[in-house]
Structure 1
Amino acid sequence: MSEAYRILGTPRFGGILVVSDHASNRVPDDIELGIAPDLLDQHIAIDIGVGKIGRIMAERPGIAAFQGNVSRLVCDFNRDEHLPTVVPIASDGHAIPGNALDHAGHEARLARFFRPYHDALADLLDSIPQALILSLHSFTPQLASSDEPRPWHVGVLYNEDDRAARIAIPLLEADGLCVGDQQPYSGRLLNATMNRHAEAEGRPYLGIEVRQDLIGDARGQAEWAERLSRIANQVAVAIG
């Protein structure tokens, strides 16, 4: 484990790697975001539930997890490096005053968190090729900045490569789920980590967003860990 990322389980050749950019709400002691502490438990700071799901999945043979180890408010790994949103100054209506950095401060965040995270993920995927990357996120049932509810239980996101998505969507629907195909947002608009490490390298990946109220407790996390392990294995076999 490093300051920027953690690896759970043992990555294996031809296995499944669960990648969660927003698995942690940790803020290093020397960084002051200037926000109310309770915001760190909300969706603007962390993808609720995914860290625990990844941990459970990584206990299974052939599955490992690669997780961000700081809050997305400290550094958002699922952004392109040149975008200012890598260090967000606001999120869902909340100002993040501690992120109003000068160029040197912004560059220091990139050097300390963003680049080590992506360098380590690239090295892992190069040295231990995977049958499938499962990009795991979660989404809030309703944004504070929107009146639109989000009824989907799970979303499947992708950019140009929809190989895994086309297989996974009917499998998820067969579990009785309301599945969003490019919902609650499009992977063509926000897919930075998978664009870089999967699409750019021709690696098959499955982008999953689970609604946070379904995985906010241990029972839901265990249920979804079982479901996603099963479906990821089915997808990996079908693609392979």
Structure 2
Amino acid sequence: MGPNTARENGLAERAGNEAGGDVVRVDNAKGRGSIVLLCDHASSRLPAEFGDLGLDAASRRAHIAWDPGALGVSRHLSRLLDAPLVWPDLSRLVIDCNRDTAAPDLIPALSELTEVPGNRDLPGTERARRIALAHTPFHDRIGEVLDARAADGLASVVVSIHSYTPVYKGVSRPWPVGILSNRDRRVADAMIADLVRQGIADVGDNQPYAPGDGVYYTVGRHGEARGLACVMVEVRNDEIADAAGESLWAARLDAALKAALVALGEGG
């Protein structure tokens, strides 16, 4: 099963999700584990109103549209950790929910090396409409989940799951997985140590991205800003290109996150 099949399976399971509006989905909303999972780039779905944004089918399935494999890994982790999982069922080509609303690449007219004609010269009204469609409800829903857990006396560790390409603009990326952190390194340090213990070589520490690249918006907003332990995980997408890869990396990350919880004093 390829990554696009994982997406199709995810869309087919929408009816089983416990919460979410037209775009935002929440799996296992009542999960009692200490982890809260976020998957900003879970879906490549383009609602009919956006047409094809001027892109061919290959581009609409490519990494510029979503993070292949990330939702599959996230759903495995949700089950393993009894964790709520919040994700937008919308391509980041429509709007990138992991960017500040003032960011120039919030609605990309150029994504990596690909022009997106349907995003060129958008009026302010269309920008505002897209923010209201997905960005605002996604972040509102994350806030609601975290607030409800706090009211119930549950600890929350914010973990965002992403994937990345083996080659970016002609440059190879050797790391099979990257663990990203900013000021709060508690979860990242524990995860990196456990992944090394598992025998995984070349674990990226703030590689292939770092918060300074503008990719840490969601984790910063809902983790660091609330004083919650947090981390962002990037898995190279050739590692999770099928169901077996998704399951394998979910098991590895499950072990690493449980090690982090022990280090935080939150149990295994």
Per the normalisation by structure 1, the TM-score is: 0.94
Structure 1: how far apart are the matches of 2:212 and 2:148?
28
Question: Which stretches in structure 1 are left out of the alignment for 5+ residues?
Answer: none
Paired residue type of 1:138 = S
- Cα offsets for 1:114-160 (capped at 9, x unmatched): 101111111111111443222111110002xx232000010011121
- Cα offsets for 1:180-212 (capped at 9, x unmatched): 111002123320001111011111112110000
Matched, 1:111 2:138: no
Structure 1: how far apart are the matches of 2:255 and 2:30?
17
Aligned to 1:213: 238
Residue pairs, 1:62-141, within 5 angstroms: 62-100=82-120, 101-129=122-150, 130-141=155-166
Structure 2: how far apart are the matches of 1:89 and 1:98?
8
- Cα offsets for 1:71-127 (capped at 9, x unmatched): 111110110111231111110111111112111111110111110111111111111
Paired residue type of 2:72 = K
Structure 1: how far apart are the matches of 2:107 and 2:232?
23
Q: 1:222 to 1:13 in 2, by over 3 A?
A: closer
Paired residue type of 1:92 = E
Structure 2: how far apart are the matches of 1:64 and 1:228?
16
Matched, 1:30 2:53: no
Matched, 1:18 2:37: yes
Structure 2: how far apart are the matches of 1:36 and 1:160?
40
Aligned to 1:167: 190
Aligned to 2:71: 51
Matched, 1:152 2:175: yes
8 Å contact kept, 1:12–1:128: no
8 Å contact kept, 2:88–2:134: no
Structure 2: how far apart are the matches of 1:234 and 1:63?
16
Aligned to 2:28: 9
Matched, 1:226 2:251: yes
Question: Which stretches in structure 2 are left out of the alignment for 5+ residues?
Answer: 1-19
Q: 1:73 to 1:221 in 2, by over 3 A?
A: same
Per-residue deviation, 1:34 = 1.2
8 Å contact kept, 1:23–1:69: yes
8 Å contact kept, 2:29–2:145: no
Paired residue type of 1:131 = S
- SS of 1:168's partner is helix
8 Å contact kept, 2:180–2:205: yes
8 Å contact kept, 2:33–2:83: no
Aligned to 2:207: 183
Equivalenced residue count is 238
Question: What percent identity do the matched residue pairs reach?
Answer: 35
Structure 2: how far apart are the matches of 1:22 and 1:13?
24
Tell me whether 196-205 or 51-60 shows the greater mean CA deviation.
51-60
Paired residue type of 1:79 = R
8 Å contact kept, 2:219–2:231: no
Per-residue deviation, 1:65 = 1.4
Structure 1: how far apart are the matches of 2:263 and 2:82?
16
* Root-mean-square deviation over aligned CA pairs: 1.4
